[in-house]
Every structure is written in C-alpha cells, then in structure tokens.
C-alpha cells in the first residue's frame, strides 16, 4: 500500500508544481494591479501556440498563411486606429513634435519588425531559442496592448468589472491565437525524456514510478519561481512592484510610475505564461485545451492566497497531491459506497479542499490579513 | 453621436438580414447541412473529417454535375462539439434550400441525442455514422436515426472478440481485468452497457474510468491503472484526450499493445503527438483504414489538380479524412437511391429517409464509386438501421496504421436483445408508437 | 418631449410607490408585454422561437436570479450552471417518478425549491469568505454538482448514457408541443417571476441585501443579520436560477446531459449580468439579449453580407469580436446596458428640443 501511495504522492506533487506555475501568473498580476486576470489561461495557450508554430515545419504552416494574412490585416487596422486616436489626442492637446515623432518611430519600428518576422516566418522552421525569444517579445507587446487598450481605461473600476474585461481578453486571445496559428494539435519538442523511471525496485514490487518529463518540468518551474522571488526581493523594480502592491496611491506619490509597473507586471506574467505554455505544451501537445488549465490554478490561488508567491507554490503542491491522492484512494471508496458511475472526483475535490481550508483561514494560506473598518 | 452610430449600425444589420430573404434560391439544388467543428478542443479531429466531407460533395458536383443533375449545396456550421451550438446550427440550416436539409450528420453523440428528439418532428433523418445511440439501429422505434456502419456496442464487441481471439477464446477471459478509459459524455458511456454484459457472460472484471472533458488531466487515472495492472485497457476518447491517454500510458509503462481504442481514437492526430510512445497501440476500424483508394484518383483529377481541395494532398489518405469521404458518399448514395423512387429533383428529408432505409451497396457498386477496399457491402433495412456490423483492428507501427486482423462481425446474439430492450424502454418512456417493419416495402 | 412626466401628479402613497410611477413607462412596458404575447406568436418563425426567443427568455430569468445575488447582495458567484443543473434534474426526477404530477408549473417550482435548498447550503461559506475568494469557492459547487449529476445513477434514472430526455409535457391539461406553446409558457413564467423579483428588490428584503452589498459590517451594526440576509439572497437567487435551469432542460433542450450546465454556462450568465448592468432587472434582459444575439449574429453576418469565408475563420472571428465587444462595452459603460438605457431616457425628456 505504501508503494502506490508514495507513487501517487510524487506524481501529484510534480503536477502540483506545474499548477503553481500557472497560478503564479495570476498572483503576479493580482498583487500589483488587483486584477483577477482570467486571461492567464488564454495567454498560456497563445504563448505555446506561437512557439510551436514558429519552431514548426514550413509545410505545416502554409494552410494557415491565408488566416495569418487576415489576422495581420485586422491587427494592422486596429493598430492604425489606435495610432490615429493617439495622434488626434496629441493634436488636440497641442503637445509638441517629439511626441508625434515618437509615435511615428514606434510605428516604423513595428512595421520593420512585423515585416521581418513575416519574412522569417515564411522561411521555415526557426531554431527553438529564436522561437522562444520571439514569443517573449510578442508577449511583451501583448502586455503593452492590454495595458494601453484595456486597463488604462478601466482604472478605478470595481474588481468584478476588471475580471470581466479579462474574460473578454481571454475570448479575444483564444480566437486570435487560433486564427493566427491554426487549431490543429502541434508539438513543442524540448527534448524532455519520456520513458518512465522506476526507483527503489528492491523495496516496492514494481518500483516507484516517476515520470522524468514531469520531473524536468518541475525543476524548470521551481527554478523560475526562485528567479522570480529573487527579482521581487532584491531588484529596484521588484521593490517598486511590492510598493505598488501595498498601496497604489502611496507608491505613486513617491514617484513610482504606475503605468510602467503594470506594463512590467503584465510582461512578466506573460513570460510566466510562456514558461507554463512551453512545459504544458511539451507534455500534452499544444492545443486549445491547454487554455482550460487556468481552471486548475484557481483552487491553488484561494488556498495559497491571491497575493502570495510562496502561497502559489505551497498551494500548488497541496492541491496537486491532494487531488491525485483523493482520486486514487478516496474515489474507489465513494464509488462502492454510493454506487457511482465511475470516479473523477479530482475536479471538485481540489475546490472543496480549498473551500474547507478557507473556512478556517479566509485570506488563504499566506494571504494578507484582511482588516475591515467601517 | 454615439447613439446615432449605433442606430445606423442596427439599420445596416437589419438591411443585411433582409437581403437574405431576397436571395433567390436556385431550384435544382439539394441542400445538405454540415455540422462540423474546425475550432475548439476537438478541432484536430474535426478538421480532417470536415475536409473529407466537403471534398466528396465538391467532387460529386465537379465530376458528375451533382446527383443526377441535382447540384449539392453544402453549408458548414461550426458546432465546436457543443450540444447547444449544434442544435442552433441544426435549427438554422434545417429549412435551407428548396426542400430543406436532406439529412444531418451531427458528428457528436451529444448532438445526436438532442437531434433524436427533433428529427421525428422535422422529418429529417439523422445519420450518425459510427456514433450516436447504440439502440437507435432499431428502425421500428428510431425511425429517423441511422447509425450506419456500426454502433458503439458493435465497436466494443469487435474489440472484445479480437482480445478473446488473442487470448484463445472467450472462456480464457475468466478472471481477467479489463478497464475502459472513457470520455465523460454520452459518447464515452455508450459502450459500458455492452462491456458489462460481456463481463457477466465471460467472468472478467470490468472497470469503467471516466476522464473529464477535454481530457488533458489523466495522471490519476493512469496511476490507478498502473497499480491495478489490468490485462487490457479500452480507450473511448476524442480530441486531445486520445493522445494524452497514449502519452500517459507510455509514462506509466502500460504496454501499448494492450491498449485498444475505438474507431474515434484511432487516427493520425491521436498517435502523432505521442511520437514514439504510440508504437504498438491498437484501434478498431470503422471498416476503412488510412491510405488512398480508387476515389482518391478522382479527387486528385477533379479537385486537387485544380487547387480546389479542402485539405492538403498528403492528408487525403488519413483515417478521419477517409471517414469524411465515406460519410458523404453514403449520404449521396442515399439521395441517389431515393431519386429512383421520387424522381431526379431536390428531395425532402422524408424522401431521403426512404433512400437511406433502402440503401443497398453491393461490392460492384462500391468498386464503381472508388471505395473498394474501404468498405464492405452494406444493406440497410427498416428494422436494421446499422447496415453492417463488420470491423477490423489496426495497429500503429510508429509511422502508419497497419491492419492486423481479419474481419469481425459483432455478435448479434448478444447485441440484438440489448437493442430491443433499450429501444423498448425508450419507446415506453416517450410513449412512442412503434412501426411494424414487416409491413414496410 | 415624449418622455415628460410633467403634469402627472401623485396624490397618494400608493401612486407614488408603484413600480412604474411614470405613465410613459407603464404604457411602454404594457406595450412590450402585449407585443410579446400577441404579436410575436403571429409573426415568429420556429428558428426565432427555438434559437433566439426561448434561450433569451430563459437566460434572462437566470440572469435575474444571478443579479439578485451579485448585483443586489454583492456576492459574486460562478456556480450558476450548477444551480441550473439542480433545478433541471430535480424537476426531471419529480416529473419522472411522480407521473400524476404532470404539470410543468409544479415541476418547475419543485426544481426551483431544490435549487434554493442547495443554494443555501453552498451559500454558507459566504459568511466567512468574500470577494474573489468567494467567487472561486462557488466554483466548488459548480464542479461538484456537475460531477454529481454525471455520477449518481439514480438521479438520471440509470440511463446508460447519462443523458435524460423528457416528452409529453403539459400544464393544467395544456399540451406543450410546438415552439409557440413553449414560448408562451416561458414568457408567462418569466413575466410573473420578474414581477416577483421587482417587488422583492424594492421591498424590505431587497433593501437589506443592498445594505449588505454596500458595506456588510455597517449593515450588521445597524441591525441586519448578515447570515439571514446573505442566505435569503442565495436562496431567492438559486430559486430563480433553478426554475430557469428546469425550463432550459425541459423546454429548450428536451434531452440533456450535465455538460449543458457546465462552467461556460456560469460565465455566460455572469456576462449577462455585468454587460446588462449590476443591480438592474432591466439590465438582466438587455444583457441576456446581448449575449444570446451577438454570437448568432456574428456567426451569420458574413453570410448575410455575401462574404464567403472558411468556417474556422468565421468561428475564430466570432470569438475575437465577441471578446472585443465585451471589453469595449465595459470601457464605454461599466454600469452596463441598463445605464445606457437610462441615459437615453434622460435625453428623451427634452428631445428634440434643446432645452
């Protein structure tokens, strides 16, 4: 009995690290801007699709070239509209030439980069590092677009409005990503090992199964978390981020530029989405379904607290292990007791686990204590 | 200002709506709706199928000028595999064309269930080729459903026969453990009844294990499989669930040779993402396999050489693309059959139903159509809406599908009583009047 | 000038407290109801009934239910789909197991009551948990209920496929067969439910909900009991949602599986509430109309305009435009369509004269 238990526990913990990775994206944004960013799942999908398609074979791309052109055209029109709007705004304010030049330069730069990318895209498969770098740049652009087009207009709105706006963004990204890159199933080859490893075969019959792919993925995720933690704790930007998280108004009054900070946070969470997309994509194949992984990260969030990076990690581990153990050991008991048509309890068990936990600690594991005054 | 823009926009939309009504319908056209999905979680499997269907209709129009001179007008509607979207598509398309929809292919067991309730009212036959309700092959109760080529009970039975043959007979299954990993939807639940029946007959233990939509989270399921060490695992998945199952089987070291998929789990998009891990995996065949046959020469000549194909030429031999071809062909032949009785003009759903019910494709006719080697002869009757119950098993060798078995026929001694009982229960619950098939001509 | 209340004097409290104190509003609403009951059945096609009007009305009711919880009581819930499922399956089981009660009104009421009971149960954590924590916690009910209806065989009468079907429906001897019958029945129920909801939210209970929404601690201090207030909101909200769920199963689908009430349904209804306007019954209708119509229109618009594009591109564009429209509306009017409506009414008081 101990063998299977340990095996399930290990499998659950490894999966849990991957949940943490997705949850981390949520936490970063919620901490800095108070936005419950439901588009995180869509961002994971978008990043994974972009990498997979950029690094993919050319004959695989032709089918979607037409779609690519259409999507690019739509994007171009949208950008032109934004540009026109900005320009008009500046004219109306009568501000000087430098602003206008900046916009013109940005537009020119965008055109050059876009044209170059389209040309390269047609050339065939990109090396993996280039694809990842390009995707990182695209995620940065996306962050900028979201900040500029959506968030800036919704400052001071209620949380639920912002939440709904991110749902709208999620819809848009799902459609946009698939228009751009297609909705087939694509592979990302990171060279993760696939054959199972069996540990301690002498101690347990059949040994303890460990999926080396999961193991490598978990290590990458853990490394990323450490890097982020260092970034937050020691760098200047990290300090600014924490200041913004504590109090927007106070941070602004000591000269921290709120908009820049938000841009950075969204970019960083875009990178986290990229990392999650790479790992999940290498594991499962890149397909629309991976955007649904966001739902898996939610119980992690409430368990760990919306604002805590360590909470996301520990919460992920608890949820991962809890749901796998419940499915393997609790579900058969429930099936026998209630004459159920099969198990599948892991989907709600994670939520119930988190819910029960919340009843005792309403702010989550590491969440900041909520003090209410009248 | 803003209000005025909105009003203008509204007026524009309304005007656009009116032009629809004004569009003149050509009279000699047969309208066929296509409920397919090229988006969403199931798109990798939906796209090749949809391409096959679209190409075959286009081929009939290009090569023969339609069915006896009646042009096919085919319109796709993307359901995303969601039942409510599927029903909306059906309602939108059912009255199009001069005579309405000839028939409908829901391409989802959930949508088939929903349309089963609507078909008798609208008088439009539902062709659920290789899916749908297993008991709906009983044409005396399910007068409008046609699960052509095989139901899930047939599929499960064929796989069980293959396993029994490998083990040396059904009596050798005693004490064996067989697990079904299934997509948690009406689709995945269909085979359970038959497998439970077989388990009772032969004394093996049968455990169904559901996987929640869309099926990317299967770690716990496969850990349980590893711990329980079943002798065989049957896979009833769709979309990304299939490749995930195969990957997880590889990850827990379950031998892929003992993993058997249904015919919806046995196509290229299911095994390719698993790369080396899929080698040795078995799947049932809905008669046809992959590869190019007689009809593909015509497709090349009339469509692909002119750049009119929906897919890429290399993809036209894939399992699901071929299934699309077969699906469209059966529909076209049904309309052709119905034309022998009602004349060479656009037909209503009710008239087409007669055509499906009297469909009789001989080996010679299949050869003529270019489907030799893909299908066995089939004959649909009033009491048997399935037409044929034959199937084979194929195996993925790492690069292509290889047929590894002879033809099996699902055992009607087992299935027929189950069909009768289930159909009777349905008829009783719904208080339906049952048709007497012996009186149908 | 058409919308001026000048000259309409209120001489007693009853007149001042009526639902629509302004004559034009009364006439307008009566006209809408008359059109819905009389003109629509004379004109509508089956497609209009089954795919637009029926979903619109049922989802409006669900949106009203959710709006009571989110808009009036301030408790964000993502479990709407689950409560709709409770209503649908409870109604199904009563209809199936007590054949003598083949009266849809009774069946739907039972569905609503069961949903209310389950809603109270899942509302209990709202005492400790707030904001997004509560929103995510309500997902627990969504996933648990979905799972329950897929697994507990008794609830689906041991159907092998897990899909249940209903047929031969009647209300006091009236057979509900055609889309028009179903439409009229739904319309009747929705009108009655809306009147009930309106009276609830403008009465004592509604005011206690709003007090809790605006600041729960302050409300507690001035004497509202948070437990009772929040749980009544959960109960009433779930009741409406449950009735909507039962109608969705019985009158819209006819045969359904738990997937019909999955998490996307919850999001869809929350969208309706937000786009329509939090804390506005009119908003629930406007939001439902928006969310039901926009995807259908987007999907068919290119066809109407004669533009031919691939099915896949069409669906993707639908997603993109839908997402963009939601963001756009939230930016333009975060208080929803209902607010736009009242702005329009303000304008109409003077229009077309500038002063």
Q: For testing the chain A interface, which of B220, B267, B310 should be mutated: the one with the most A CBs within 10 Å?
A: B220
Region A187-197 average pLDDT: 76
Collapsing DSSP to helix, strand or coil, B180 comes out as: strand
Q: Is 70 exceeded by the pLDDT of residue A61?
A: no
CA distances from C96 to B118, C92, C151 (A): 20, 6, 18
Among candidates B216, B252, B275 on the partner chain, residue whose Cβ is nearest the Cβ of A284: B216
Range of the domain at C176: 47-350
Cβ within 8 Å, pair B116-C255: yes
Smallest Cα–Cα separation from B195: which of B155, B224, B237?
B155
Residue B129 is given by DSSP the state T
Average pLDDT of chain A to the nearest whole number: 79
Q: Is 70 exceeded by the pLDDT of residue A367?
A: no
Q: For testing the chain A interface, which of C143, C265, C277, C308 should be mutated: the one with the most A CBs within 10 Å?
A: C143
pLDDT, residue B21, reads 42
Collapsing DSSP to helix, strand or coil, B378 comes out as: strand
Chain B: residue whose CA lies nearest to A326: B220
- Give percent of chain C with pLDDT exceeding 90: 43
CA distances from C267 to A38, A123, A251, C139, C270 (A): 11, 41, 34, 11, 5
pLDDT, residue B212, reads 85
Decide yes or no: CATH 3.40.50.2300 for domain B153-285: yes
Give the contacts of B277 (CB within 8 A, at least 6 positions apart).
A194, B246, B247, B249, B250, B251, B256
pLDDT, residue A290, reads 84
Q: Does C101 touch chain B (CB under 8 A)?
A: no
Region B171-191 average pLDDT: 91
Cβ within 8 Å, pair B78-C314: yes
* Alpha-carbon gap: A313 to the closest alpha carbon of chain C (Å): 18
CA distance C226 to C216: 7
Q: For testing the chain A interface, which of B213, B216, B277 should be mutated: the one with the most A CBs within 10 Å?
A: B216
Rg value, chain A, Cα: 23
Spell out which residues of chain B touch residue C350, defining contact as CB-CB under 8 Å.
Answer: none
Cβ within 8 Å, pair C47-B77: no
Average pLDDT of chain B to the nearest whole number: 88
Q: Does C226 touch chain A (CB under 8 A)?
A: no
Q: Is 80 exceeded by the pLDDT of residue B164?
A: yes
If one counts the domains in chain C, the total is 1
Spell out which residues of chain B touch residue C150, defining contact as CB-CB under 8 Å.
Answer: 184, 210
Spell out which residues of chain C touch residue B113, defining contact as CB-CB under 8 Å.
Answer: 161, 163, 165, 255, 257
Q: Is 70 exceeded by the pLDDT of residue B204?
A: yes
Q: Is C161:B113 a contact under the CB 8 Å cutoff?
A: yes
CA distance B254 to B240: 19
Size of interface B-C (CB pairs under 8 A): 100
Average pLDDT of chain C to the nearest whole number: 89
pLDDT, residue C206, reads 93
Q: Does C303 touch chain B (CB under 8 A)?
A: yes
Collapsing DSSP to helix, strand or coil, C12 comes out as: coil
Q: Is 60 exceeded by the pLDDT of residue A231?
A: yes
Annotated domain spans of chain B: 26-150+290-389, 153-285
Is there a domain that residue C10 lies in?
A: no
Q: For testing the chain A interface, which of C81, C124, C136, C263 should be mutated: the one with the most A CBs within 10 Å?
A: C136
pLDDT, one tens digit per residue, over A336-355 is: 888 787 778 888 888 888 88
pLDDT, one tens digit per residue, over A287-312 is: 888 888 888 888 888 888 888 888 88
Q: Does C41 touch chain A (CB under 8 A)?
A: no
pLDDT-derived band at A31, boundaries 50, 70, 90: confident
Cβ within 8 Å, pair B208-A284: no
Cβ within 8 Å, pair A302-C133: yes
Q: Does C342 touch chain B (CB under 8 A)?
A: no
Name the CATH superfamily for B26-150+290-389. Response regulator (3.40.50.2300)
Could you tell me which residue, C71 or C165, shows the higher pLDDT?
A: C71
Neighbours of chain B (3+ CB pairs under 8 A): A, C
Spell out which residues of chain C touch residue A178, defining contact as CB-CB under 8 Å.
Answer: 312, 316, 319
Q: For testing the chain B interface, which of C49, C160, C165 should be mutated: the one with the most B CBs within 10 Å?
A: C160
Scanning the structure block, which residue is given the tokens 């601690």?
C217
pLDDT, one tens digit per residue, over C249-305 is: 999 888 888 888 988 899 999 999 999 999 999 999 999 999 999 988 988 888 888
CATH number where C130 lies: 1.10.3470
Among candidates A165, A174, A351 on the partner chain, residue whose Cβ is nearest the Cβ of C319: A174
pLDDT, residue B162, reads 95
Chain B: residue whose CA lies nearest to C47: B91
Token reading at A244:
């913004």
Collapsing DSSP to helix, strand or coil, B233 comes out as: strand
Is there a domain that residue C76 lies in?
A: yes
Region B405-424 average pLDDT: 92
Spell out which residues of chain A touch residue B226, defining contact as CB-CB under 8 Å.
Answer: 7, 206, 209
Q: Is 60 exceeded by the pLDDT of residue A65?
A: no
Q: Is 60 exceeded by the pLDDT of residue A95?
A: no
Token reading at B69:
């001179």
Q: Are strands B378-379 and B29-36 parallel, antiparallel or unpaired?
A: unpaired
Region C166-195 average pLDDT: 89
Cβ within 8 Å, pair A346-B217: yes
Cβ within 8 Å, pair A287-B219: no
Cβ within 8 Å, pair C137-A342: no
Token reading at B198:
């077989």
Collapsing DSSP to helix, strand or coil, B105 comes out as: coil
pLDDT, residue B2, reads 44
Spell out which residues of chain A touch residue B247, defining contact as CB-CB under 8 Å.
Answer: 194, 283-284
Token reading at C277:
């306007």
pLDDT, residue B17, reads 44
Cβ within 8 Å, pair C254-B114: yes
Instruction: Please name the residue ranges forming H helices in B38-77.
Output: 43-64
pLDDT, residue A249, reads 79
Spell out which residues of chain C touch residue B87, defining contact as CB-CB under 8 Å.
Answer: 50-51, 253
Cβ within 8 Å, pair C312-B87: no
Among candidates C51, C163, C304 on the partner chain, residue whose Cβ is nearest the Cβ of B20: C304
Q: Is 90 exceeded by the pLDDT of residue A29?
A: no
Region C102-113 average pLDDT: 93
Cβ within 8 Å, pair C217-A374: yes
Q: Is 70 exceeded by the pLDDT of residue B67?
A: yes
Q: For testing the chain C interface, which of A65, A165, A336 should be mutated: the one with the most C CBs within 10 Å?
A: A165
pLDDT-derived band at B14, boundaries 50, 70, 90: very low
Query: With helix as H, strand as E and coil as C, how does chain A read?
Result: CHHHHHHHHHHHHHHHHHHHHHHHHHHHHHHHHCCCCCCHHHHHHHHHHHHHHHCCCCCCCHHHHHHHHHHHHHHHHHHHHHHHHHHHHHHHHCCCHHHHHHHHHHHHHHHHHHHHHHHHHHHCCCCHHHHHHHHHHHHHHHHHHHHHHCHHHHCCCCHHHHHHHHHHHHHHHHHHHHHHHCCCCECCCCCCCCCCEEECCCCCCCCEEECHHHHHHHHHHHHHHHHHHHHHHHCHHHHHHHHHHHCHHHHHHCCCCHHHHHHHHHHHHHHHHHHHHHHHHHHHCECHHHHHHHHHHHHHHHHHCCCCHHHHHHHHHHHHHHHHHHHHHHHHHHHHHHCECCCCCHHHHHHHHHHHHHHHCCCCCCCCCCCCCC
Cβ within 8 Å, pair A288-B41: yes
Is there a domain that residue C155 lies in?
A: yes
pLDDT, residue B15, reads 45
- Global ipTM: 0.87
pTM of the model: 0.88
Q: Is 60 exceeded by the pLDDT of residue B26?
A: no
Q: For testing the chain B interface, which of A17, A206, A285, A321 should be mutated: the one with the most B CBs within 10 Å?
A: A285
Among candidates C76, C218, C331 on the partner chain, residue whose Cβ is nearest the Cβ of A374: C218
Smallest Cα–Cα separation from B82: which of B216, B239, B203, B316?
B239
* Alpha-carbon gap: A172 to the closest alpha carbon of chain B (Å): 13
pLDDT-derived band at C190, boundaries 50, 70, 90: very high
Spell out which residues of chain A touch residue B47, defining contact as CB-CB under 8 Å.
Answer: 183-184
Chain C: residue whose CA lies nearest to B20: C304
pLDDT, one tens digit per residue, over A119-158 is: 666 556 678 888 888 888 888 888 888 888 888 888 778 8
* Alpha-carbon gap: B190 to the closest alpha carbon of chain C (Å): 6
CA distance A10 to B157: 37
Spell out which residues of chain A touch residue B312, defining contact as CB-CB under 8 Å.
Answer: 59, 62-63
Spell out which residues of chain A touch residue C274, defining contact as CB-CB under 8 Å.
Answer: 160-161, 164
Give the contacts of A3 (CB within 8 A, at least 6 positions apart).
A203, A204, A205, A206, A208
Q: Does C257 touch chain B (CB under 8 A)?
A: yes
Is there a domain that residue C39 lies in?
A: no
Q: How many residues does chain A have?
A: 374
Scanning the structure block, which residue is given the tokens 């669930």?
B241
pLDDT, residue B1, reads 38
Region A98-119 average pLDDT: 62
Burial class (CB in 10 A: 0-12, 13-18, 19+), B372: middle
Is there a domain that residue C72 lies in?
A: yes
Q: Is C250:C91 a contact under the CB 8 Å cutoff?
A: yes
Give the contacts of C84 (CB within 8 A, at least 6 positions apart).
C62, C115, C241, C242, C244, C245, C248, C261, C265
Is there a domain that residue C115 lies in?
A: yes
pLDDT, one tens digit per residue, over C38-77 is: 888 888 888 888 889 999 999 999 999 999 999 999 998 9
Region A227-243 average pLDDT: 82
pLDDT, residue B22, reads 41
Among candidates A172, A174, A352 on the partner chain, residue whose Cβ is nearest the Cβ of C144: A352
* Alpha-carbon gap: A156 to the closest alpha carbon of chain C (Å): 11
Cβ within 8 Å, pair A285-B224: no
Is there a domain that residue C336 lies in?
A: yes
Is there a domain that residue C152 lies in?
A: yes
Could you tell me which residue, B274 or A60, shows the higher pLDDT?
A: B274
Q: Is 90 exceeded by the pLDDT of residue B340?
A: yes
Burial class (CB in 10 A: 0-12, 13-18, 19+), B56: buried
Q: Which residues pair with B179 in a beta bridge?
A: B207, B233
Region A1-9 average pLDDT: 83
Could you tell me which residue, B396 or A62, shows the higher pLDDT?
A: B396
pLDDT, residue A99, reads 58
pLDDT, residue A371, reads 66
């Amino acid at each position: 009995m101990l063998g299977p238990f340990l095996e399930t526990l290990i499998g659950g913990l490894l999966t849990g690290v991957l949940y943490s990775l997705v949850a981390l994206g949520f936490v970063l944004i919620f901490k800095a801007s108070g936005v419950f960013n439901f588009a995180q799942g869509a961002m994971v999908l978008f990043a994974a699709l972009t990498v997979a398609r950029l690094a993919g074979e050319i004959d695989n791309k032709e089918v979607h070239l037409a779609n690519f052109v259409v999507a690019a055209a739509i994007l171009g029109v949208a950008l032109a509209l934004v540009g026109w709007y900005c320009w008009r705004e500046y004219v109306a304010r009568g501000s000087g030439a430098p602003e206008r030049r900046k916009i013109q330069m940005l537009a020119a730069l965008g055109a050059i980069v876009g044209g170059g990318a389209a040309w390269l895209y047609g050339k065939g498969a990109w090396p993996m590092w280039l694809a990842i770098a390009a995707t990182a740049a695209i995620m940065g652009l996306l962050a900028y677009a979201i900040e500029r087009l959506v968030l800036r207009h919704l400052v001071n709105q209620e949380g639920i409005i912002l939440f709904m706006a991110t749902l709208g963004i999620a819809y848009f990204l799902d459609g946009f990503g698939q228009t751009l890159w297609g909705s087939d199933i694509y592979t990302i080859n990171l060279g993760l090992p696939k054959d199972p490893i069996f540990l301690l075969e002498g101690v347990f019959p059949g040994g303890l199964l460990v999926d080396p792919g999961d193991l490598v993925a978990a290590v990458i995720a853990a490394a990323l978390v450490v890097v982020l933690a260092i970034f937050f704790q020691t760098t200047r930007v990290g300090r600014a981020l924490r200041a913004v998280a504590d109090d927007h108004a106070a941070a602004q009054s000591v000269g921290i530029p709120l908009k820049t900070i938000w841009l950075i946070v969204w970019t960083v969470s875009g990178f986290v989405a990229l990392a999650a997309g790479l790992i999940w994509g290498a594991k499962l194949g890149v397909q629309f379904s991976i955007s649904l992984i966001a739902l898996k990260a939610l119980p992690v969030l409430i368990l760990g607290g919306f604002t805590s990076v360590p909470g996301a990690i520990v919460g992920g581990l608890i949820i991962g292990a809890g749901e796998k153990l419940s499915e393997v050991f609790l579900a058969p008991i429930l099936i026998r007791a209630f004459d159920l048509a099969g198990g599948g309890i892991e989907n709600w068990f994670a939520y119930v686990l988190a819910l029960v936990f919340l009843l005792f600690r309403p702010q989550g594991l590491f969440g900041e204590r909520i003090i209410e005054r009248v | 200002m803003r209000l005025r823009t909105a009003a203008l926009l509204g007026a524009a939309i309304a005007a656009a709506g009116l032009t629809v009504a004004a569009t003149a319908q050509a009279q000699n056209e047969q309208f066929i709706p296509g409920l397919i999905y090229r988006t969403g979680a199931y798109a990798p499997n939906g796209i090749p199928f949809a391409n096959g269907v679209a190409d075959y209709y286009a081929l009939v129009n290009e090569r023969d000028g339609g069915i006896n001179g009646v042009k096919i007008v085919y319109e796709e509607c993307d359901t995303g595999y969601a039942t409510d979207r599927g029903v909306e598509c059906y309602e939108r398309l059912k009255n199009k064309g001069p005579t309405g929809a000839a028939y409908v292919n829901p391409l989802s067991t959930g949508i088939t269930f929903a349309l089963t309730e609507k078909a008798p009212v609208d008088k439009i036959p539902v062709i659920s080729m290789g899916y749908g309700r297993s008991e709906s092959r009983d044409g005396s109760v399910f007068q409008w459903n046609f699960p052509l080529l095989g139901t899930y009970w047939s599929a499960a039975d064929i796989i069980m026969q293959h396993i029994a043959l490998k083990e040396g007979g059904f009596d050798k299954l005693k004490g064996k453990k067989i697990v079904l990993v299934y997509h948690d939807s009406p689709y995945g639940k269909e085979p359970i009844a038959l497998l439970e029946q077989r388990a009772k007959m032969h004394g093996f233990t049968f455990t169904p294990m559901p996987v929640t939509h869309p099926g990317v989270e299967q770690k716990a399921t496969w850990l349980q499989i590893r711990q329980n060490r079943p002798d065989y695992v049957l896979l009833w998945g769709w979309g990304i669930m299939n490749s995930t199952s195969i990957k997880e089987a590889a990850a827990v070291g379950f031998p892929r040779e003992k993993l058997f998929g249904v015919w919806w789990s046995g196509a290229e998009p299911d095994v390719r993402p698993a790369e080396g891990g899929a080698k040795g995996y078995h799947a049932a065949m809905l008669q046809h396999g992959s590869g190019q046959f007689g009809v593909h020469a015509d497709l090349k000549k009339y469509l692909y050489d002119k750049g009119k194909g929906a897919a890429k030429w290399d993809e036209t031999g894939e399992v699901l693309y071929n299934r699309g071809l077969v699906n469209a062909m059966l529909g076209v032949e049904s309309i052709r059959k119905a034309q022998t009785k009602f004349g060479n003009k656009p037909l209503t759903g009710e008239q087409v139903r007669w055509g499906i019910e009297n469909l009789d494709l001989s080996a010679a006719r299949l050869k003529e159509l270019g489907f030799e080697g893909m299908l066995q002869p089939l004959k649909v009757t009033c009491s048997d809406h399935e037409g044929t119950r034959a199937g084979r098993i194929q195996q993925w060798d790492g690069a292509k599908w290889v047929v590894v078995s002879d033809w099996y026929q699902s055992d009607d001694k087992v299935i027929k009583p189950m069909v009768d009982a289930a159909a009777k229960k349905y008829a009783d619950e719904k208080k339906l009047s049952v048709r007497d098939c012996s009186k149908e001509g | 000038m058409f919308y001026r209340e000048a000259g309409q004097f209120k001489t007693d409290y009853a007149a001042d407290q009526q639902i629509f104190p302004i004559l034009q509003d009364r006439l307008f609403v009566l006209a809408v109801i008359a059109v819905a009951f009389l003109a629509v059945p004379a004109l509508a096609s089956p497609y209009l009934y089954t795919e637009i009007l029926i979903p619109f009305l049922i989802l409006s009711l669900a949106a009203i239910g959710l709006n009571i919880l989110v808009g009036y009581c301030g408790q964000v819930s993502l479990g709407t789909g689950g409560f709709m499922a409770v209503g649908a399956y409870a109604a199904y089981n009563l209809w199936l197991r007590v054949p003598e009660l083949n009266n849809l009104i009774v069946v739907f009421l039972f569905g609503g009551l069961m949903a209310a009971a389950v809603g109270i149960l899942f509302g209990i954590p709202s005492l400790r948990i707030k904001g997004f924590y509560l929103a995510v916690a309500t997902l627990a009910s969504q996933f648990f209920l979905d799972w329950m209806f897929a697994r507990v065989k008794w609830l689906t009468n041991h159907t092998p496929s897990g899909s249940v079907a209903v047929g031969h429906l009647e209300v006091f001897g009236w057979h509900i067969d055609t889309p028009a019958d179903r439409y009229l029945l739904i319309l009747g129920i929705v009108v009655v439910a809306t009147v009930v909801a309106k009276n609830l939210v403008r009465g004592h209970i509604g005011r206690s909900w709003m007090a809790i929404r605006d600041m729960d601690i302050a409300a507690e201090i001035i004497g509202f009991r948070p437990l009772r207030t929040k749980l009544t909101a959960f109960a009433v909200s779930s009741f409406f949602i449950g009735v909507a769920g039962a109608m969705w199963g019985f009158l819209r689908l006819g045969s359904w599986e738990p997937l019909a009430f999955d998490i996307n349904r919850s999001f869809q209804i929350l969208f309706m509430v937000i786009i329509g306007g939090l804390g506005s019954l009119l908003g629930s209708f406007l939001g439902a109309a928006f969310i039901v119509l926009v995807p259908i229109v987007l999907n068919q618009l290119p066809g109407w305009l004669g533009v031919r594009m691939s099915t896949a591109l069409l669906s993707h564009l639908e997603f993109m435009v839908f997402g963009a429209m939601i963001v756009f509306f939230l930016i333009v009017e975060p208080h929803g369509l209902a607010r736009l409506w009242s702005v329009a009414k303000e304008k109409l008081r003077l229009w077309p004269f500038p002063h």
